[in-house]
Amino acid sequence: MHSTDKQADSGDPNIRTSPALEARSDELRVEYRAVRSTKTRKSGVFTLQRFRVPFNRPRVEVLGPPLGSFPN
């Protein structure tokens, strides 16, 4: 995955997310990753959600993990 330069606004000031995009010949993949805490520089990173859009099929597919499974 290739990260973008912009951060996405999660709506929660304690969570910073950054989308990663990968464009392939057969699909577009997006992965949203976040840090566990913005209060420490060495905070762990985890995946909030992954999506894909298949070539020639204009719909978003959720790949997981489910949003409810991210660490607290």
In a domain, 72, yes or no: no
Residue 71 lies in a domain: no
Q: State the 10-residue block means of pLDDT for the chain, 72 residues long.
A: 46 65 93 82 83 93 68 49
Task: Please report where in the chains the tokens 């973008």 appear, as a residue.
Answer: 4
Q: Which pLDDT value is given to residue 9?
A: 53
Tell whether 70 is covered by a domain: no
This prediction has a pTM of 0.59
Is residue 69 one of the residues assigned to a domain? no
Distance CA 24, CA 7 (A): 22
Is position 51 within any domain?
yes
- How many domains are contained in the chain? 1
